[in-house]
Amino acid sequence: MAVRRHATRAPGFDYHIRDRGRPQRKGKGLKTDSGETRRILVTGGAGFVGSHVADAYIARGDRVWVMDDLSSGRLEHVPAAAEFAEMDIADPRAARLIRDVGFDLINHHAAQIDVRASVEDPVADAGVNIAGLLNVLEAARAAGTRRVVFVSSGGVVYGEPETYPIPESAAKQPVSPYGVSKYAGECYLNYYREVHGLEYVALRYGNVYGPRQDPHGEAGVVAIFCNRLIEGKPLTIYGDGEQVRDYVYVEDVASANMIASGMVLEDRPGIDARAYNVGTQEATSVNTLATLLEGVADVQPGRLHREARPGDVRRNTLDTARIRGCGWVPAHSLTEGLARTFGHIAAGRAKAGAA
């Protein structure tokens, strides 16, 4: 589909909104107090998780804008019914757009997500994950935005605690600049709530997997394994492969975002009062993941063991009682989610090969 660029909309506007060609459904979706369809901004909505979240808002009829600088996201992942602003969240134009539209809700997925990149360049990490967030929050405060759904990480904010699965109340001991910047985001949001009355929910994700995940990044072991299996190449496993993670399917994460967008919030102070782990509470080792995916792909090209990578936590599983108490249940088992992801990647590659 051709991408059209609108001319600037009013004198003084210095940004462009791309209308991607498909009208949004009118009259559906959650309403504001005055009965209007809610206007929602999804930052990072061209990325892996953010695009599924934008899809979920569109599916229930909200009006959606996506803001993304396309540094790792892709335009084809932005739902066709969403308006799209290609911009950096740290840019003054992003703040102007937020003030001009006056979003009811901001769902903040845009981030620098690479742990190793954050170790190499903590300043760049903070530029996006802290300064970029503050640019968005200052504009949201000025615009009277009602709620921010902020994406944190249950994989990095806790470090390596004593007990598993990890509850939200566990000590926060991030061991990377990325973990620090994610937790700092929660602390800033808590400040904005206490001082300016800006409501928020922080979702601390486990290891999200599913269609559209970038196999070239650091985070996507499922996507990396799927591609290796399709190519008939051995799976690379760092360390003994017994490190465990909490893998959660991306559509289930999107449904947690829908709940976070509408949940009634208790008037309780404290950072953990606004935080919800999002995972399955199941511990899956990299070796088990490899075995399950070999079964799905019906090939066994072998495994290469490499030295463990410094900074990788040994264990991570999240206690999800809080979000389950709000009515959320992960609808996809790991086997089902892996089969869907593999099928999606295989179909995408077949299509690209045929083109």
Asked whether the CA dihedral 119, 125, 129, 131 is positive or negative, the reply is positive
Q: Which is nearer to ligand NAD, 132 or 211 (CB)?
A: 132
- The DSSP output letter for 309 is P
Residue 218 touches ligand NAD, criterion: CB under 6 A? no
User: What percent of the chain is helix, strand and coil (3-state, nearest 5)?
Assistant: 40, 20, 45
Site for ligand NAD in 155-194 (CB under 6 A): 155
Query: Measured from the CB of residue 74, what is the shortest distance to ligand NAD in angstroms?
Result: 7
d(CA 36, CA 49): 27
Query: Measured from the CB of residue 46, what is the shortest distance to ligand NAD in angstroms?
Result: 4
What is the DSSP code string of 63-76? EEEEEE--SS--GG
Query: Measured from the CB of residue 181, what is the shortest distance to ligand NAD in angstroms?
Result: 9
d(CA 122, CA 160): 21
Name the β-bridge partners of 64: 40
Site for ligand NAD in 320-339 (CB under 6 A): none
Sole binder of ligand NAD in the list 89, 136, 201, 235 (CB under 6 A)? 89
Query: Measured from the CB of residue 267, what is the shortest distance to ligand NAD in angstroms?
Result: 27
Amino acid at 189: L
Query: Measured from the CB of residue 31, what is the shortest distance to ligand NAD in angstroms?
Result: 27
Examine the residue annotation and report whether 205 is marked as an active-site residue of this protein: no
- Determine which one of 178, 205, 249, 276 is catalytic: 178
Q: 328: which 2 tokens?
A: 């959320």
Q: Kindly indicate which of the ranges 82-90, 141-149, 232-240, 336-344 contains the residues binding ligand NAD, using the contact rule CB under 6 A.
A: 82-90
Q: Are 157 and 178 in contact (CB under 8 A)?
A: no
Q: Kindly indicate which of the ranges 11-19, 30-38, 207-215, 229-237 contains the residues binding ligand NAD, using the contact rule CB under 6 A.
A: 207-215
Query: Pairing mode, if any, of strands 83-86 and 18-19?
Result: antiparallel
Sole binder of ligand NAD in the list 181, 207, 261, 281 (CB under 6 A)? 207
Site for ligand NAD in 112-131 (CB under 6 A): 112-113, 128
Q: How many residues bind ligand NAD (CB under 6 A)?
A: 30
As a whole number of Å, the end-to-end CA separation of the chain is 16
Query: Measured from the CB of residue 155, what is the shortest distance to ligand NAD in angstroms?
Result: 5
Query: Measured from the CB of residue 2, what is the shortest distance to ligand NAD in angstroms?
Result: 21
Q: In the chain, at which residue ranges do the beta strands (DSSP E only) sit?
A: 4-5, 18-19, 39-43, 63-68, 83-86, 105-108, 147-153, 199-205, 207-209, 235-238, 244-245, 247-249, 275-278, 284-285, 303-306
Peptide bond into 92 cis (omega under 30): no
Find where tokens 């893998």 sit.
247
Sole binder of ligand NAD in the list 38, 41, 48, 286 (CB under 6 A)? 48
Sole binder of ligand NAD in the list 29, 61, 79, 132 (CB under 6 A)? 132
Sole binder of ligand NAD in the list 54, 58, 81, 110 (CB under 6 A)? 110
Q: Which is nearer to ligand NAD, 155 or 211 (CB)?
A: 155
Widest Cα–Cα separation across the chain: 61
Q: Which is nearer to ligand NAD, 61 or 210 (CB)?
A: 210
d(CA 219, CA 321): 25
Catalytic residues: 178
Question: Site residues (CB under 6 A) for ligand NAD?
Answer: 44, 46-50, 68-73, 88-90, 109-113, 128, 132, 151, 153, 155, 205, 207-208, 214, 219
